[in-house]
């Protein structure tokens, strides 16, 4: 299987102190709050990014979720914390492994 790093989301902005860095599970999605103005959500069913908000503004194109053609459509999706300052979401399909990574600054 070919492993490809498709997207690494790194927050290098100073924390606002209004929210906490981390990942939660809600409504069939993993929601990652970078504590730097960026919040993104990944479908637990498909692995597609279904929301990408920066300072409250939605930036995700709803017609083509993960930016791979028509989206991933299905995959094994696992979210893990790497220490206290990194969240990694791994999406595995028969032909691709995709990572979403967020790091608190």
The verdict on residue 29 lying in a domain is yes
Does 69 or 52 have the greater pLDDT score?
52
**What value does the mean pLDDT of the chain take?**
79
Q: For residue 66, is pLDDT > 70? A: no
Q: What does the pLDDT look like over 9-18, one tens digit per residue?
A: 333 333 444 5
Q: What does the pLDDT look like over 67-92, one tens digit per residue?
A: 665 566 778 999 999 998 999 999 99
The verdict on residue 12 lying in a domain is no
The verdict on residue 91 lying in a domain is yes
The verdict on residue 3 lying in a domain is no
What token pair was written down for 26?
A: 């809600």
The verdict on residue 10 lying in a domain is no
**What residue numbers bound the domain in which 60 lies?**
22-103
The verdict on residue 35 lying in a domain is yes
Stated pTM of the model:
0.77
The verdict on residue 26 lying in a domain is yes
What token pair was written down for 2?
A: 């070919």
Q: For residue 39, is pLDDT > 80? A: yes
CATH number at residue 61: 2.40.10
Distance CA 27, CA 25 (A): 7
Number of domains present in the structure of the chain: 1
């Amino acid at each position: 299987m070919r492993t490809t790093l498709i997207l690494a989301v790194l927050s290098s902005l100073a924390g606002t102190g209004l929210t906490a860095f981390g990942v939660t599970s809600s409504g069939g999605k993993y929601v990652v709050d970078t504590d730097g103005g960026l919040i993104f959500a990944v479908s637990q069913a498909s692995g597609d990014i279904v929301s990408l908000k920066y300072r409250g503004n939605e930036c995700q194109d709803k017609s083509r979720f993960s930016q791979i053609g028509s989206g991933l459509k299905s995959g094994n999706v696992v979210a893990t914390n790497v220490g206290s300052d990194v969240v990694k979401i791994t999406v595995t399909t028969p032909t691709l492994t995709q990572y979403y990574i967020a790091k608190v600054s």
